[in-house]
């Protein structure tokens, strides 16, 4: 199972009965990455991701899905990578979708969520850099 990640697009209003309008999900947008759910040898479902640098690269559907599947399978055995902050909410939505699709199986993200919003990663990085230089 896989799903593309999009950016941009627009919101569309759908007219229902009377003057009540309903907001639909984002329509359109440019594809910039993919999520993939892969079943491992142990029966667990592993979630992988890929993200294109749109300023430097052109998006390729096949490459995005193969990178996401590769990261999911590598997550079965190797240490995990940090998920970019720009796609964390979309990753949570994909995990909920995978839980509905693979009922009764354990879903394991093959990535870490990284530092929380309350932490200051730049400050921590500078402190670690100063400590490493003083040694």
pLDDT single digits (tens) 46-83: 999 999 988 888 999 999 999 999 999 887 666 667 88
Over residues 85-133, the pLDDT tens digits come to: 888 889 999 999 999 999 989 998 888 877 655 555 555 666 666 777 7
User: What pLDDT was estimated at residue 125?
Assistant: 63
> What pLDDT, on a 0 to 100 scale, did the predictor assign at position 66?
93
Reported residue count of the chain is 135
Check residue 56 and give its pLDDT. Answer: 87
Residue extents of the structural domains in the chain: 2-134
Has this prediction a pTM greater than 0.85? no
């Amino acid at each position: 199972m896989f799903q593309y990640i999009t950016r941009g697009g627009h919101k569309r209003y759908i007219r229902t009965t009377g003057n009540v309008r309903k907001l639909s999900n984002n329509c359109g947008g440019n594809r910039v990455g993919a999520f993939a759910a892969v079943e491992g040898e142990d029966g667990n479902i592993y979630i992988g991701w890929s993200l294109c640098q749109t300023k430097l690269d052109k998006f390729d559907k096949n490459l995005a899905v193969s990178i996401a599947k590769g990261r999911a399978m590598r997550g079965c055995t190797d240490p995990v990578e940090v998920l970019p902050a720009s796609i964390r909410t979309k990753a949570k939505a994909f995990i909920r979708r995978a839980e509905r699709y693979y009922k009764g199986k354990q879903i394991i993200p093959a990535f870490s969520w990284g530092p929380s919003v309350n932490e200051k990663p730049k400050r921590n990085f500078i402190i670690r850099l100063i400590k490493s230089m003083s040694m």
